Amino acid sequence: EDQVTQSPEALRLQEGESSSLNCSYTVSGLRGLFWYRQDPGKGPEFLFTLYSAGEEKEKERLKATLTKKESFLHITAPKPEDSATYLCAVPIQGAQKLVFGQGTRLTINP
């Protein structure tokens, strides 16, 4: 069964303390992996698409990387405004639906 698992479920960091979030997946024939940011009470906001192992994408303090089994979202010197839930998702082959992980709730304390 196609599955996406994110860890940790929650992470608290001090401002400026870098860390990484993990997204592991088991899908047949990966056709991309997406990262989204979601603020409380709002819809997910698209961040990155990664299509092949070894690919990296960067946006401000965020960098996403992809291997054959997992993806990492690295957060460098985070600020309180980076606090949010970060979701990863993969499209299911032959269909168009996204399968999401349960998310990592990130809190950055000032």
Partner 1 sequence: DTGVSQDPRHKITKRGQNVTFRCDPISEHNRLYWYRQTLGQGPEFLTYFQNEAQLEKSRLLSDRFSAERPKGSFSTLEIQRTEQGDSAMYLCASSLSGYEQFFGPGTRLTVL
List interacting residues with partner 1 (CB under 8 A): 4, 31-32, 34, 36, 41-46, 49, 87, 89, 91, 95-103
Q: Which of residues 9 and 15 has its CB atom nearest to partner 1 in the complex?
A: 9
In the three-class reduction of DSSP (H, G, I as helix; E, B as strand; rest coil), residue 80 is classed as: helix
Q: Which of residues 59 and 79 has its CB atom nearest to partner 1 in the complex?
A: 59
Give least dist CB 20 to partner 1, A: 19
Q: Which of residues 18 and 107 has its CB atom nearest to partner 1 in the complex?
A: 107
Q: Which of residues 34 and 64 has its CB atom nearest to partner 1 in the complex?
A: 34
Give least dist CB 15 to partner 1, A: 25
Q: Judge residue 25's burial from the number of C-beta atoms within 10 Å of its C-beta, 0-12 exposed, 13-18 middle, 19 or more buried.
A: buried
Give least dist CB 47 to partner 1, A: 10
Phi, psi at 61, each rounded to 5°: -90, 5
Do the beta carbons of residue 88 and residue 72 sit within 8 Å?
A: no
The answer for residues whose C-beta is within 8 angstroms of residue 63's C-beta and 6 or more apart is 56, 57, 73, 74, 76
Give least dist CB 77 to partner 1, A: 27
The DSSP bridge pattern shows strands 98-100 and 33-38 to be unpaired
